Amino acid sequence: MPLDFLTLMAVMATNLFMISAALPLIMGRGVSRAARHVQASLLLQAVAWAAIIASSSLWDQALSTLSIACNAAAQWMLYRALEEWLGPRPLPRLLLVLVIAAPLGYTLGFGHYAWRVGWANFLMAAILCIVARATLAPVVESSLRWRSLLLGCLLTSAAFTLARGMLGAFTDQYPSFRTPHPVNLAAAMATNVSLVLGTVALLVAWRAEAEQKLRTLAMTDGLTGLLNQRSFAQQGASLLAHAARHQLPVTALMLDVDHFKQINDTRGHEAGDRALQLFARLLGDTCRSGDLIGRLGGEEFGVLLLHNSAPAGMAFDRRLRRRLHAASVAELGFALDYSAGLATPAPGETDLAALMARADRALYEAKTAGRGRLVAAS
């Protein structure tokens, strides 16, 4: 079956334009930054392929330079999407330099065919390798499946781009972009397939991002960003089981802001919300990593301090109280105070509900004893 190179390219450019038009419709408004980067990347690729096809009939230098600039920029946008999904990625500066240098060197050396083809393809291959590298070693948890698929697509494209560069720079078998050389035809086929598979990988990545957002939303309290009651109970039970297994000390605290209704009534609901946010932030600042904090009700918070026995829990309370008094006056314009109850599990105890109920009873004692204090369960 004869394969016409330009037809393959035209099909790919058409597909890319269709996908670029369809994606915003499928994804809808208000999508994440990563999704917007992906949309931009696909559109830039579509323009790049359309420009290279058009360059064979008019404005050769301008359109082929535009094509390389768009292709490089498309990879930059894809890299930015990967940064959003996977955390900081390696070699961002080098990538940016290559993205700028690829079209610049190409157009400056346009008069010399071997130079411009070698330059543009070698730099594009390097760009593709850096983006492929960016799919590895995520800083945040991410599925290996879509990343492997994207990695495969990018490495395949990089290999063919490199092969084109070698042919153009060091042989006379690649006299033009449309040459029906077997490597060129295979590259066009592979790019078409990579486009489809790469788009699938990116859609799966986008879905994974949406799922993660939903999971976070279901686990956290919208106002303070702390764990909500349900996830505090789930994660608290695991923490308690872990502590019991390894015989680690744990201290549980129940904390409740004092006279909170009065704050709402006299200063307004918004001031009350800001007070809760400040309290939550200071709780986070006073805890160490591995501790658990949750908003268990309106102005009631639960804390599980790992590696801490009762005296350390009391020291935690003193630190928090000091910080709260200073920060509430400075940031809210009035002093905020709270009552707290403290309880520690018996050796081997893993019943979180019973432990928190003891801390809650101690909290009630703190309230009835005049508020603004900590009471330890006996």
Ligand X SMILES: Nc1nc2c(ncn2[C@@H]2O[C@H](COP(=O)(O)OP(=O)(O)OP(=O)(O)O)[C@@H](O)[C@H]2O)c(=O)[nH]1
**In this structure, are residues 341 and 362 in contact, taking their beta carbons and an 8 Å threshold?**
yes
Nearer CB in complex with ligand X: 223/327: 223
Assess 272 for contact with ligand X (CB under 6 A): yes
Assess 367 for contact with ligand X (CB under 6 A): yes
**In this structure, are residues 282 and 320 in contact, taking their beta carbons and an 8 Å threshold?**
yes
Assess 269 for contact with ligand X (CB under 6 A): yes
Nearer CB in complex with ligand X: 14/262: 262
Residue 359 beta carbon to ligand X: minimum distance, rounded to whole angstroms: 15
Assess 256 for contact with ligand X (CB under 6 A): yes
Residue 269 beta carbon to ligand X: minimum distance, rounded to whole angstroms: 4
Q: Which two tokens stand for residue 76?
A: 């930059």
Per CB under 6 A, the list member of 223, 248, 314, 327 interacting with ligand X is: 223
Please identify, among the stretches 79-87, 156-164, 184-192, 271-279, the one whose residues bind ligand X according to the rule CB under 6 A: 271-279
**In this structure, are residues 39 and 47 in contact, taking their beta carbons and an 8 Å threshold?**
no
Maximum separation of any 2 CA atoms in the chain, in Å: 92
What order do you get walking across the sheet with 374-376 strand by strand?
A: 292-295, 300-306, 250-257, 338-343, 374-376
Rounded-to-integer distance, Cα 344 and Cα 347, Å: 9
DSSP classification of residue 300: E
Half-sphere exposure of 87 (CA within 13 A, CB side): 7
Assess 225 for contact with ligand X (CB under 6 A): no
Q: Hey, which residues between 276 and 335 contact ligand X (CB under 6 A)?
A: 276, 298-299
Assess 107 for contact with ligand X (CB under 6 A): no
Q: Which two tokens stand for residue 239?
A: 């923490």
H helix count then E strand count, the chain: 12, 5
Nearer CB in complex with ligand X: 200/357: 357
Assess 257 for contact with ligand X (CB under 6 A): yes
Per CB under 6 A, the list member of 260, 279, 301, 316 interacting with ligand X is: 260
Q: Which residues of the shown chain bind ligand X in the complex (CB under 6 A)?
A: 223, 256-262, 264, 269, 272-273, 276, 298-299, 367, 371
